[in-house]
Amino acid sequence: MSTEQFTKTPAEYFKTPDLVKIAIIGLGYVGLPLAIEFAKKYDVLGFDINPDRVDELSKGEDRTREAHIGDLNKVIASRKNGATGLCFSANKSSLSDYNIFIVTVPTPINQFKSPDLTPLLKASAMLGGFLKQDDIVIYESTVYPGCTEDDCVPVLEEASGLKFNQNFYVGYSPERINPGDKVNTLTTIKKVTSGSTPAIAEVVNHLYQSIITAGTHKAPSLKVAEASKAIENAQRDVNISFVNELALIFDRLGIDTNDVLDAAGTKWNFLKYKPGLVGGHCIGVDPYYLAHKAESLGYHPEVILSGRRVNDNMGFFVANKVIKLLINKGHKILGAKALILGITFKENCPDIRNTKVVDIYSELKQFGMDVDIYDPWADKMEVKREYDLDLLANIEHSYDAIILTVAHEEFHSIDFKKLTNNNTIIFDTKAFLERSMVDGRL
């Protein structure tokens, strides 16, 4: 077993591209686009523990709608005909042929809002069984500063019997995928990179430079790269929480938040964040990772956690506002029919992870209302599996209340006259509908 530290330059490491074999672990919103781009230049394995996902992708299909299907099919065909391209597997033994492993598994929070590293540590333990001399494991999953070295590396060492920074190495390059965004895509967003030694940092940086047209930023350490990801989303969360708190105040004042933002936005340096539901796998989750690390060091993060409290309660505010509007129009709440338009966490995207729409649904149901949900983007089976909710296939009758929660383009074409009567209330959380149509909005 070698004890000499890796010293190859990127030029030496990549001088024979056919010898660079990359395995992407996890084929969701982050892993799949990454696999496709790397497969245009390297031999890439897309690995996922879900065989149904592997079968789907092998057929050139993608339920997340993140992949460019033409590119997906092209790299699949390329792999069948040559050394570069993309193949898929759910069989762990297939990992033995690869030397760079990129981990893109989810890093959620548990019911106590603490980091759940289970998928990350399981992936690390699995990879440890296949590590060889000079192999590199790169993590893209969002974590708190220090997680890669303190939590993942010991698992890799134990499972492999190898020594960190002597036999194998690690990198960290935080994902910056924005689900549903077809403009700011993987290759057009600057990528932060890092490595566990200076030589590995150069290799990891060179690897990403080979596919990221926007360029890369090499961070001085793994912890710096990890922290950069955590604060990107914590910053947005705090800014949105400020505007959400303004919406709560302005509601009591009887003025429209968006009118205030339009007025304030005439100043050149005003940051025009919008109020709304803050869900998804990043902004609604990552601040808890940063807070967890801070608290482990004896510091209670006041600003970060206060912002989280505000944003976590917005669904309940919307539901209670709808109830008040119904009462003001003389509706009996028990048995009243409500329609929620949208369950994904953002517009024009099928991603339902950590959606706060379910908070509105649950609160209205607790008031005894009959609540339907319609979303043309969401996968009905996935919604049933994750939240035990049934989505409408079509909207066929009128409602006492309609709550627009997601600004899908398809909702522009809805004929609201068929869904409403003179007494229906419409609440718009996105300022998406014509002002004259709605009874209230955030």
CA dist 258 and 236 (Å) reads: 18
Please state the three-class secondary structure of the chain as a single string: CCCCCCCCCHHHHCCCHHHCEEEEECCCCCHHHHHHHHHCCCEEEEECCCHHHHHHHHCCCCCCCCCCHHHHHHHHHHHHHCCCEEEEECCHHHHHHCCEEEECCCCCECCCCCECCHHHHHHHHHHHCCCCCCEEEEECCCCCCCHHHHHHHHHHHHHHCCCECCCEEEEECCCCCCCCCCCCCHHHCCEEECECCHHHHHHHHHHHHCCCCCCEEECCCHHHHHHHHHHHHHHHHHHHHHHHHHHHHHHHHCCCHHHHHHHHCCCCCCCCCCCCCCCCCCCCCHHHHHHHHHHHCCCCCHHHHHHHHHHHCHHHHHHHHHHHHHHHCCCCCCCCEEEEECCCCCCCCCCCCCCCHHHHHHHHHHCCCEEEEECCCCCHHHHHHHHCCCCCCCCCCCCCEEEECCCCHHHHHCCHHHCCCCCCEEEECCCCCCHHHCCEEC
299, 300, 302, 305: CA torsion to nearest 10: 130
CA dist 412 and 407 (Å) reads: 9
6 and 199 Cβ atoms separated by less than 8 Å: yes
> What is the band of 183 on the pLDDT scale with cuts at 50, 70, 90?
confident
pLDDT in tens, 224-251: 999 999 999 999 999 999 999 999 999 9
pLDDT in tens, 170-179: 999 999 988 8
What is the reported pLDDT for 434?
93
CA dist 200 and 5 (Å) reads: 10
Please state the three-class secondary structure of 101-167 as a single string: EEECCCCCECCCCCECCHHHHHHHHHHHCCCCCCEEEEECCCCCCCHHHHHHHHHHHHHHCCCECCC
Longest dimension (CA), the chain: 79
Q: Is the model's pLDDT at 49 over the cut of 70?
A: yes
Mean pLDDT of 57-80: 91
> What's the chain's average pLDDT?
94
Among 13, 284, 425, CA closest to 433: 425
Mean pLDDT of 87-112: 95
Mean pLDDT of 408-416: 94
What is the reported pLDDT for 81?
85
Q: Is the model's pLDDT at 6 over the cut of 90?
A: no
Q: Is the model's pLDDT at 3 over the cut of 60?
A: no
Q: Which residue of the set 87, 147, 152, 282 is catalytic?
A: 282
**C-alpha radius of gyration, the chain, whole number:** 24
Q: Which of 101-115, 174-188, 209-223 has the lowest mean pLDDT?
A: 174-188
* Residue 294 token pair: 């801070």
CB atoms within 10 A of CB 294: 16
pLDDT in tens, 286-345: 999 999 999 999 999 999 999 999 999 999 999 999 999 999 999 999 999 999 999 999
Residues comprising the chain, all counted: 442
Active site residue 87: no
What's the pTM? 0.93
What is the reported pLDDT for 94?
96
* Residue 177 token pair: 């995928």
Buried b (16+ CB within 10 A) or exposed e, 300-310: ebeebbebbeb
What is the reported pLDDT for 164?
97
Among 387, 250, 264, CA closest to 317: 250
CA dist 411 and 348 (Å) reads: 10
> What is the band of 1 on the pLDDT scale with cuts at 50, 70, 90?
very low
Q: Would you give the distance in Å from CA 311 to the centre of its chain?
A: 17
354, 360, 363, 368: CA torsion to nearest 10: -130
> What is the band of 4 on the pLDDT scale with cuts at 50, 70, 90?
low
Residues 6+ apart with CB under 8 A from 59: none
Q: What are phi and psi of 6, to 5 degrees?
A: -60, 125
* Residue 115 token pair: 């980091």
pLDDT in tens, 333-392: 999 999 999 999 999 999 999 999 999 999 999 999 999 999 999 999 999 999 999 999
